[in-house]
A = this chain, B = another copy of it.
Amino acid sequence: MEMVTSADNQQIETAKKLKKMFGHIDYKNPPEMCPVRDVLSLASDKWSILIILYLGFFPVLRFNKLKKYVYGISNKVLSERLKALESDGYLTRRMYAEVPIRVEYRLTNFGKNYVDKLIELTEWMQINSPKVLKNKKKFQVK
């Protein structure tokens, strides 16, 4: 008779995955070999997340529309992030030489795959953020 709970199994699974992962993100590796540091850092940036989620929802968005949705972002940061996200392959930028000029941003297939991963994370965070805010308050009292 086995006495292994599903929580135990989860722990074991987690440990296994982490072990495999740390072959790659080990601190002794050169920076290029640490995906968290060098790739995820852009993609998990708070502004990038919002940009990508909005582009996941609205298939096509223009600069000023994005700026309106990603509330609080500045021209500068938005245009920087868009360039970086394009360069990393998450989105495409299509320019139409009209007057006035029109520029459309949309996710690549790769970006769409990433959205699915992001959604899992943000859904979890949405469910759990009240818990975090409660923790934060409790901590301030101490």
Residues of A whose CB lies within 8 Å of any CB of B are 10-11, 14-15, 17-19, 21-22, 24-25, 27-28, 31-32, 34-41, 43-46, 49-50, 53, 56-57, 68-72, 86-89, 110, 112-126, 128-129, 131-133, 135-136, 139-140
Contact = CB atoms under 8 A, between A and B. Distances in A.
B117 A121 contact: yes
- Closest 6 CB pairs between A and B? A89-B135, A27-B71, A35-B129, A41-B46, A44-B44, A39-B129
A110 B35 CA distance: 24
Given A110-B131, A128-B110, A27 B69 contact: yes
Given A37-B50, A46-B37, A17 B88 contact: no
Judged by DSSP, the binding face of A is helix
B89 A39 contact: no
A125 B48 CA distance: 15
B44 A49 contact: yes
A81 B69 CA distance: 29
A49 B40 contact: yes
A36 B142 CA distance: 26
A36 B53 contact: yes
